[in-house]
Structure 1
Amino acid sequence: MEKKSEVKFALCCICAVGQFCTRLDGLDDAMQSRKRPGVGRVGGEPMPIHRKNMSIALVLVAASSTSALAGGFQRGTADTDILFEPGTVNTRASLTYIDPRRGFTSIDGQDGDFDNYTGDYLIPNYAISLGNDVFGCAATATESFAAEADYSGAPGGALPMQVSSTQSTSTADRTNFTTASSVSRTQRLAFDSQELGLTCRVSYQAESGRYSLLGGVFVEDFHFEGTSLGTTYIAPGVPFPVVNSRIDVESDGGYKAGFRIGAAYEIPEYALRIQAMYRSEVKHDEIEGDGTVTILNSLVQTLPAGTVIPVDSYFSEATSPQFVDIKAQTGIAPGWLLLGSFRWTDWSTNEVSVSSISNAAAGISSSSFAPYHWRDGYTAQIGVGHAFNDQISAAVAVGFDSGVSTGAETTYTDLYTLSGGVSFKANKMAELRFGGVVGYWTNGDQSTSQDSYYDATVGDDMVYGVNASFRLTF
């Protein structure tokens, strides 16, 4: 087995979309009295401000913008906002469903309706926090990055051919069939990363407002699955097939550690909060597993159809990208809240991925690659929330995600989103949120001149998502 490619593979794809159900209870009281920041007065005596029961917008949505819809393979984001909820103990569980509808309109010059290759998926998110106004910690769990693509609707039931009898990450080598001894066609790809984290907050109350420092650690794993169709030639450079097969592989990488650090500033009586959080990148290496090569048809008598050959599988180094997340909210009138967020993600680390198989005894050594060559992504959102009464509040927002595709891969073009959510607070202990999003993906194309190994176009497509979450406070 040749040395595994160390090319980075930034985890990011049909990512889910953020969360957008906003808590606005207590906003009326906060907005009715425009006091000097940090101090109120009762009978002429200074009175500390009260923390209002509001949280930064959890914007929920679907496949490629605003948090879970951010640019590439991003899905869930750790719910560290729970550190700002009132109460000694808080727990929150949410589930987001995303239905991204992206399909090719042409492949290598052949026009057609080739079905959606993006699959729908669920994103779970869990958090529990313990603390007070000065100090608190939250344990979180989510699916941080993932992707799934099924290309069986493409002509011939898979993507176009590439040379598999090489470990090269060069598009030129992958499309040079003059010396190829085997070729492959990608049929299905899927991977996911699960994140477990612990984040803490230390806060200081001053006359000018409330200052908080946040920091923590997390661990993240990596799991890859793939299916491709392979053809072995009678001799290198002689495109006469002697064996056709299906390759199925699974590779796993253990948990790797990362960290997050941030800060926040609040004036609770104005419902003002500005928060910034940095999440470090995580490199996954030693991604190994196993798989099978199933003979579909063969001219070799010792390899009849139906023969299954076990193989070892390997995946190139994978990097989940670093990002910076900025969120802000402020009261603008009694019962009204202005919300905004911005995220930069280092998607440019996502260049090329390589999946390899090997069985020395059977003389098997081949690989398949996927070029991305993404650029960094930017996601922005602005919205408004309103508290109708102490029990019901709602929010609506518009968002934009800059496409990360550069022409080597064309899934992640510019995305425009409209999202909304509503919060029902039954009492001081329980709150239920529902939300949804609709997104519009712009068209795009990829070409061999931009380091893709085949030409393709996508049209204007849509993405949809819904979310529900439940919080308990003690």
Structure 2
Amino acid sequence: MNFLRVKALLGAGCFSLALVGTAMHPAHAGGLERGGYDIDLLFDPAPFATEAEATFVMPDRKYKNARGPGGLDLGFGTTADGAEDYWVPRIGGKVQVVQGVDCMVDYSQPWGAHTAPGVWNGAFSNMETDIKSDNYAATCSYKMDAGKGQLRFIGGVFYQKVYGFKEDLVSPLVPNFGGTGRVDLTSSGWGWRAGLAYEIPEIALRASLVYNSKVKLDNISGTLDLTNVGGVVLPIYGSTQYMPDVVELKLQSGIAPGWLAFGSIKWVNWSVLQSVPICVVGTPAAACVTGDALHSAQITSLDLMYRDGWTVSGGIGHKFNEQWSAAGQLSWDRGTSHGYGAQTDTWTLGGGVAYTPKPNIEVRLAGAIGVLTSGHSGTVAGENGYVAGTDASYDFGNDLVTAISGGVKIKF
């Protein structure tokens, strides 16, 4: 294989996965996923590399035919917005410590959700929910020669903070629907990752399999504010929960001079998040469980009722010359909602370009458009006799989601 072909393949391989993935993944992911986990920077061949990127996601989910408790039309409105626009930032740096050993540190926001339907027939269930996260990670790898390529062992740790609030209607008798209650919660925990990768740089081949552990949240705490309905602010806590573990297989290979094919399969254990019971401080932990009124001391709950998520994607990248490259990708994401919630299957098409004005600088711009498929949200039976969705039911059609993303990488 001649040098020009090698260089073209490597050029395509360096940009394509990060280029399209930046806009694609937050645009369609299920559960609470936003930026997810990404360690692609670790594979950059430069001794030192740093990158920063941001994605703006615009989901256009609409609720319709909404009903309140017992299927009643409460007269508050049968339609509402089902999702809000949001940003997903990421910044990281990678360094070759010694020959064969690379390490990276990064900040990201892997999880999040924001809905603000306001005053509607489902207001007793949700007027606004906003969940955010901060993730600080350190990941290293050791690579060694193996056959025609190199085998890489990957390991790392991350510290994660998850926090947010939920506001819903407690009493409609307060003027201007001001009779609301608000729950504020925060928690944090540690996780780890491990994986393997095999690379043949001459043909831009890379296969990686990475496992990211669960994050145990056993310190969930916050407040329940009932002052708008004549109550007080109560200190509260939630029972131990876990953010999901994730397994992702990524593949890429040069297929012709300047051309690269790539794809991935990802499983996320979202079924670990069902209903989060919330209790007043002082309630015994054994009583703070999800269940019916006779078997639970919860004062309220955060109902998610997820099933596991699967994401499958594939695409093609091409390097036109030393300055310009482009890539496109198609993805399918299995919805994590199954009867409760509005996270159904999503199909997303994305593409982007990369401009390299100098060998050590790369500027990326990407976009994506997808279809959020239709469905219905109602009651779903969970564990211990608990039933979610009794406060609201609604339909939703096939809606659009779009995203734009930009980023810059500098390497030496």
Separation of aligned partners in 2, 1:287 and 1:57: 36
* Residue 195 (1) aligns with residue 195 (2): no
Tell me the equivalent position of 2:6: 30
User: Which amino acid is the alignment partner of residue 77 of structure 1?
Assistant: G
Q: Name the SS for the 2:6 alignment partner.
A: helix
Q: Name the SS for the 2:170 alignment partner.
A: strand
Separation of aligned partners in 2, 1:280 and 1:375: 18
Tell me the equivalent position of 2:218: 285
The one of 318, 321, 331 equivalent to 1:389 is 321
Tell me the equivalent position of 1:5: none
Per the alignment, do residues 95 and 232 of structure 1 end up closer, same or farther by CA in structure 2, a change over 3 Å counting? closer
Per the alignment, do residues 128 and 464 of structure 1 end up closer, same or farther by CA in structure 2, a change over 3 Å counting? same
Structure 1: unaligned runs, 5 residues or longer: 1-25, 34-49, 161-184, 234-242, 297-302
Separation of aligned partners in 2, 1:27 and 1:282: 45
The Cα shift of 1:399 comes to 0.7
Q: State how many pairs are aligned.
A: 380
The Cα shift of 1:431 comes to 0.7
The one of 79, 91, 97 equivalent to 2:56 is 97
Tell me the equivalent position of 2:357: 426
Tell me the equivalent position of 2:335: 403
Separation of aligned partners in 2, 1:198 and 1:432: 24
Deviations 1:80-112 (A, max 9, x none): 111111221110111011111112122236597
* Residue 328 (1) aligns with residue 251 (2): yes
Write out aligned runs for 1:128-139 (5 A).
128-131=93-96, 134-139=100-105
* Residue 117 (1) aligns with residue 82 (2): yes
Tell me the equivalent position of 1:60: 21
Write out aligned runs for 1:344-423 (5 A).
344-356=267-279, 367-407=299-339, 409-423=340-354
Separation of aligned partners in 2, 1:387 and 1:440: 29
The Cα shift of 1:52 comes to 8.7
User: Which amino acid is the alignment partner of residue 395 of structure 2?
Assistant: T
User: Which amino acid is the alignment partner of residue 99 of structure 1?
Assistant: M
Q: Name the SS for the 1:417 alignment partner.
A: strand
Tell me the equivalent position of 2:410: 472
Separation of aligned partners in 1, 2:281 and 2:312: 44
User: Which amino acid is the alignment partner of residue 21 of structure 2?
Assistant: L
User: Which amino acid is the alignment partner of residue 86 of structure 1?
Assistant: P
The root-mean-square deviation of aligned C-alpha atoms, in Å, is: 3.0
User: Which amino acid is the alignment partner of residue 247 of structure 2?
Assistant: V
User: Which amino acid is the alignment partner of residue 159 of structure 1?
Assistant: A
Is the 1:351–1:371 contact (alpha carbons within 8 Å) kept by the matching residues of 2? yes
Q: Name the SS for the 1:399 alignment partner.
A: strand
The one of 427, 430, 439 equivalent to 2:370 is 439
* Residue 204 (1) aligns with residue 144 (2): yes
* Residue 252 (1) aligns with residue 192 (2): no
Is the 1:76–1:123 contact (alpha carbons within 8 Å) kept by the matching residues of 2? yes
Tell me the equivalent position of 2:384: none
Write out aligned runs for 1:164-313 (5 A).
185-231=125-171, 245-253=179-187, 255-295=188-228, 309-313=232-236
User: Which amino acid is the alignment partner of residue 14 of structure 2?
Assistant: M
User: Which amino acid is the alignment partner of residue 29 of structure 1?
Assistant: R
Per the alignment, do residues 69 and 290 of structure 1 end up closer, same or farther by CA in structure 2, a change over 3 Å counting? same
User: Which amino acid is the alignment partner of residue 337 of structure 1?
Assistant: L
User: Which amino acid is the alignment partner of residue 265 of structure 1?
Assistant: Y
Structure 2: unaligned runs, 5 residues or longer: 284-296, 382-386
Is the 1:229–1:247 contact (alpha carbons within 8 Å) kept by the matching residues of 2? yes
Per the alignment, do residues 56 and 212 of structure 1 end up closer, same or farther by CA in structure 2, a change over 3 Å counting? farther
Q: Name the SS for the 2:202 alignment partner.
A: helix
Per the alignment, do residues 432 and 351 of structure 1 end up closer, same or farther by CA in structure 2, a change over 3 Å counting? same
Is the 2:61–2:399 contact (alpha carbons within 8 Å) kept by the matching residues of 1? yes
Separation of aligned partners in 2, 1:51 and 1:207: 23
User: Which amino acid is the alignment partner of residue 205 of structure 1?
Assistant: D
User: Which amino acid is the alignment partner of residue 168 of structure 2?
Assistant: S
Is the 1:358–1:366 contact (alpha carbons within 8 Å) kept by the matching residues of 2? no
Is the 2:119–2:127 contact (alpha carbons within 8 Å) kept by the matching residues of 1? no
Decide which structure has the larger Cα Rg and report it. Answer: 1
Separation of aligned partners in 2, 1:219 and 1:189: 24
Separation of aligned partners in 1, 2:337 and 2:3: 41
The Cα shift of 1:187 comes to 1.7
Q: Name the SS for the 1:263 alignment partner.
A: strand
Separation of aligned partners in 2, 1:374 and 1:224: 18
User: Which amino acid is the alignment partner of residue 144 of structure 2?
Assistant: Y
Tell me the equivalent position of 2:123: 159
Deviations 1:396-449 (A, max 9, x none): 011100111111x23110100000111111112111111011110110112326
Separation of aligned partners in 2, 1:420 and 1:399: 11
The Cα shift of 1:272 comes to 0.8
The one of 92, 99, 103 equivalent to 1:127 is 92
Deviations 1:17-76 (A, max 9, x none): xxxxxxxxx99521889xxxxxxxxxxxxxxxx9997256123366xx746632211111
Q: Name the SS for the 1:118 alignment partner.
A: coil
Per the alignment, do residues 32 and 387 of structure 1 end up closer, same or farther by CA in structure 2, a change over 3 Å counting? closer
Deviates more, 1:372-381 or 1:185-194: 185-194
The alignment-based identity, stated in percent, is 29
Separation of aligned partners in 1, 2:11 and 2:345: 38
Q: Name the SS for the 1:145 alignment partner.
A: coil
